[in-house]
Chains A and B, each alone.
Chain A
Amino acid sequence: MRQLFLLILWFSLLGAEAAHPVENIPVADLQERIETESDTLFVVNFWATWCQPCVKEIPEFNRIAPELEGVPVKVLMANLDFPNQKEARLLPFLERHEVSHEVLMLLTPRGGAWIEALDPAWSGAIPATIMHYKGKRFFYEGEATYEQLEEWMKNLM
């Protein structure tokens, strides 16, 4: 009985570790990743565990499929918690909430110049979402529904 329990514990720990590998990514690298020419439509959601509307809209992003009308779609959930709180805040959050797309921890330089560089329309409030497809882009500051996200994606295609 005890062995079985340990076995289950072992597998659940394995599963938990595999489910949430969170890469740290400098904001410039993220920009390069989405803006480089490819066949993929990128959707980047900027969020944080402390941001109530961000947490509320995660299920809307979870609904985005890997393909829309034949176009490959890649969703990146760019997290803006403080990097030194990754273990204390972000990873435990991911144990308790379903976030089905790739989560990245964003490393941002001091000051806010990077916000404007990502999109001139972004004041810095989150949630915010950037979409990028073959040189065309879309930006939205605020909470979105799946229906809105799908419409914006289609408009870019």
Chain B
Amino acid sequence: MKMMKVLFAGAALLLMFASTMQAQLKIGDKAPDFNLKNVDNSWVALKDYSDQEGVVLIFSCNHCPYVKLYEERIVALQKEFGPKKFPVVAINSNDSTIVAEDGFSHMVKNAAEKGFNFPYLLDDKQVFKAYGATRTPHVFLLKNEGQHFTVAYIGAIDDNPQDASDVKDRYVANAIEALLKGEQPSPTETRAIGCTIKFKE
């Protein structure tokens, strides 16, 4: 009887553990396609970037203070790496019925105010689940393999959210530079504090 109880508790624990985890794409996995509405009302799909070397895909939003700390740095990434055929694409997956500030009209306003030089897409199809993105900002650096894109780096933009002037490791920039040289990025994965992605099941 006691054994059963222990087994049951163990199984329950495992189940709960599993439910908190979304299967995140792994390095080298094929990047799922998407087709989402941009703030300029155009539609943007991953396959539109087939003439690029790769894509800096960033799960983002308006309201998150950690995103706000990085907005200027994301604009700078596009300025630096867009011309090198690694353009930025940002996706907001937050449900605006949970956070009103992340609604489409607010995205349009935010993109204009902050001078976004990259597409900022509304994820009304829960694309973030296909990638296993869990927080904002959450970067998936994609590499063009010819027929499709694969994931080359997952994680943070750099190692200092609070102070851009005190960054020692520019994870995304370094990963792109590595890919441009035909090398493997290192590290391929990093973690950082961020806001949860807000959605309804």
Contacts and interface: CB of A to CB of B under 8 A. Distances in A.
Interface of A: 48, 50-53, 80, 82, 84, 110-113, 115-116, 121-127, 138-143, 152, 155-156
Nearest to A140: B20
B20 A121 contact: yes
Interface string B184-196: 0000001111111
B168 A110 contact: yes
B155 interface: yes
A140 B20 CA distance: 6
Contact of B9 (A116, A123, A155): A155
Contact of B193 (A84, A116, A126): A126
Interface residues of B, number: 30
Dominant secondary structure at the B interface: loop
A80 B196 contact: no
Given A110-B168, A111-B159, A111-B169, A124 B20 contact: no
A127 B196 contact: yes
B191 A141 contact: no
B197 A125 contact: yes
Interface stretch (B11-19, B46-54, B75-83, B105-113): B11-19
A110 B159 contact: yes
